[in-house]
Structure 1
């Protein structure tokens, strides 16, 4: 057990330091939404469209999860698990008039997220703190909407992660998980091919990720908790334009100078982006959304 805890502690330290270093770089180039954009397949987009695509990712996630547009059914309390610098929290709080709390392992992110909330006059609605998603500092059944936008891939224990999402969800709450996964295994496969495992390991080393899983693995975990209306979908084709756009932005003067100021961990992450593209083109890496509801 001590070995497992030590390994998880080292991973968490690496994640915190990675985002401490890279969040300012990301905000400088892409704004306060630290996640992929959602695009129409095969569309051509200009750089100015990418921030709108990030907003669309939030909107499409809500639509897929069937979060009601009826005001009386809007969520009143939200948790943003792996909140980055709080872009989703602030957007959702404004959209629904809800209170939202975000958690992150990065002190730099939490501080910046709170500063942005105050600057936008949302500090009475939105707050951010440093906390572990696997041991959330909230009581059972607290939130009407449990939101995890591209944080599940960092979780070393997916069962514990999903269990915590379900624990803090109120009866009738919606849970939304948007995350990177690996492809589904075939009926005769016990594991990924060695070359696939090697590629994922290189990506894990750059982004401080533990072992990957498939979308169906998430579905099985949610089913084991007796959650309802479980559904998932592969959104890889909708996010594919974002990866080359990130590379192009890194090659601009602003991108290069910002990257060099950010530190070695951020540079290592940027250099691994072509590996993500390779994984997508080889049908290995999937960008999945998984949603469900907690029984009333």
Structure 2
């Protein structure tokens, strides 16, 4: 049903838009966390690619089918980043801005060398590898997409980081990983896909050691009471990117506190992200006619055109203050 709704939205949009751990020890630590549910189940083959993820197929469909789009216009082999960039006075390029977002969130969250980090919604491993390279972190990356896991593992091997970074298919609302296993749960533009944000926060809290920190960078809803036209635009945007809805920043803060977190801090960085938004919207405007034709002729899946629709609408949503972008950190007492 969700897919049909998104396709209906895309169809209506067509009309509208016509207008400090040693590497060896770190590897053993990662494998211990990674293999917990394998030993529990008595099978050594589960946990990497064979986990059945059936409750969010639209998220897997979206990322698996739009990989080439991300690869062509957004990320490169240096950053492997699928998120928006952070621009400041020293930023010289789009590629630099993507790495800047990692730096800003790491600084805000107080990442320290040698930490154990769960990258919740790791994509193809960009942030996971960056954390390992820059903080000597031991990282476990999880995603719903087996294709992303395969790519991320290959990238880790190419960078000689497979001894400190591993990836697996898992749901960040119910990971099956050890309680208290991580110093940081890192979530860059992944919390937005959670249908139950409270469940994501509760699972993050469980996996953190006392004193551990949650670090989020994501888009947030601007208002719960926009005009009908603005709400329609907002829903077209989030549905086009395989999300149901977004929290307002204050809503996420409340949910985090209800989950048991303390010292919840937020930083609105919308102005720093807006150049990245503009770049994406401009690219989508150029690509839209061809994207529509390729989807109409079934040369490419319709979800790829949904992605173009979302990329075009995100600029409008920002300018109308329907969408903001923020970093959020919280501590498990």
TM-score, with length taken from structure 2: 0.75
Match of 1:76 in 2: 115
- 2:222 is aligned with 1:183: yes
Check the 8 A contact 1:65/1:176 in 2, yes or no. Answer: yes
Structure 1 residue 133: Cα displacement: 1.3
CA–CA distance in structure 1, aligned partners of residues 281 and 114 of structure 2: 36
CA–CA distance in structure 2, aligned partners of residues 90 and 226 of structure 1: 29
Check the 8 A contact 1:184/1:215 in 2, yes or no. Answer: no
Check the 8 A contact 1:234/1:288 in 2, yes or no. Answer: yes
- 2:222 is aligned with 1:201: no
Could you report, residue by residue, the CA deviation over 1:126-177 in whole angstroms, capped at 9, with x for unpaired residues?
Answer: 1111111111121111111110000011110011011111111111111101
Unpaired runs of at least 5, structure 1 = 4-8, 69-73, 186-190
SS state at 2:84 partner: coil
Unpaired runs of at least 5, structure 2 = 2-52
Say what the alpha-carbon RMSD is for the aligned residues. Answer: 2.7
Check the 8 A contact 2:284/2:309 in 1, yes or no. Answer: no
Match of 1:131 in 2: 170
- 2:184 is aligned with 1:145: yes
Structure 1 residue 79: Cα displacement: 0.5
Total equivalences in the alignment? 273
Could you report, residue by residue, the CA deviation over 1:40-88 in whole angstroms, capped at 9, with x for unpaired residues?
Answer: 2xx7977xx01110100010111222334xxxxx342111001010000
SS state at 2:86 partner: coil
The equivalences for 1:1-296 within 5 A come to 12-29=56-73, 30-31=75-76, 32-40=80-88, 49-68=93-112, 74-184=113-223, 191-249=225-283, 263-295=301-333
Moved over 6 A (4+): 43-46
CA–CA distance in structure 2, aligned partners of residues 211 and 26 of structure 1: 22
SS state at 1:240 partner: helix
Question: Cα gap change, 1:293/1:75 in structure 2, threshold over 3 Å: closer, same or farther?
Answer: farther
CA–CA distance in structure 2, aligned partners of residues 236 and 121 of structure 1: 35
Question: Cα gap change, 1:171/1:205 in structure 2, threshold over 3 Å: closer, same or farther?
Answer: same
Question: Cα gap change, 1:115/1:184 in structure 2, threshold over 3 Å: closer, same or farther?
Answer: same
SS state at 1:287 partner: strand
